[in-house]
Amino acid sequence: MIEKLIKTDGKRYIKKTFDYKGEDNFAFLKNEVFWLNYLKSKWVPELYEVGNNYIITRYYGPDLNTLRNNKFKLADDLADQTLEMYKFFKEKNVFKLNGALSNLTMNGNQLVAFDWKWARFRTDKYIDYEVISYEKWLSKIDSELVEKLKCMI
């Protein structure tokens, strides 16, 4: 469950409650918190608070899928930013696995990736899943992006 919050600091936040039916919600929460801490940078939202069954992160604006559906003009260098971001993920040895546009947002002109519950350290076993994520979702940013990302994997 997602809830938008405004804190006394005037900044916007998102509270994500882990209440997925039939899933190990505590494992999801631990994984998400691990990656947000480990990847702390311009590429991931700031983690503000962690509870037993929820996390609170910064909210910078709607996700890219929502922006696209509402015909918002996306940043001109979005494909380059995506490549640079995946370079960073490689350096950090992570496969995000779910690269849906609904899990990306913009902090001003800066691309930001959230929803880390499925992420894991890179192993050959998950290459196919990571590639599917490029083909299924990131291709919508730029058709040439898929090949570039595959070359880099």
Ligand X SMILES: Nc1ncnc2c1ncn2[C@@H]1O[C@H](COP(=O)(O)OP(=O)(O)O)[C@@H](O)[C@H]1O
Q: Tell me, residue by residue from 123 to 142, as one string, x for binding to ligand X by CB under 6 A and - for no binding.
A: --------------------
Encoded one letter per residue, x for contact with ligand X by CB under 6 A and - for no contact, window 66-105 reads ------------------------------------xx-x
Name the one range near Mg ion by CB under 5 A: 11-19, 55-63, 114-122, 133-141: 114-122
Residue 63 engages Mg ion in binding (rule: CB under 5 A): no
What whole-number distance in Å separates Cα of residue 119 and Cα of residue 5?
25
Contact residue for ligand X among 56, 63, 81, 89 (CB under 6 A): 63
> Which residue in the set 35, 56, 57, 94 belongs to the binding site for ligand X (CB under 6 A)?
57
**Interface with ligand X includes 43 (CB under 6 A)?**
no
Q: How far is the CB of 151 from ligand X (least distance, A)?
A: 27
Please state the three-class secondary structure of the chain as a single string: CEEEEECCCCCEEEEEECCCCCCCHHHHHHHHHHHHHHCCCCCCCCEEEECCCEEEEECCCCEHHHHHHCCCCCCCCHHHHHHHHHHHHHHCCEECCCCCHHHEEEECCEEEECCCCCCEECCHHHHHHHHHHHHHCHHHCCCCHHHHHHHHC
Interface residues with ligand X (CB under 6 A)? 2, 14, 16, 45, 57, 59, 63, 102-103, 105, 114-115
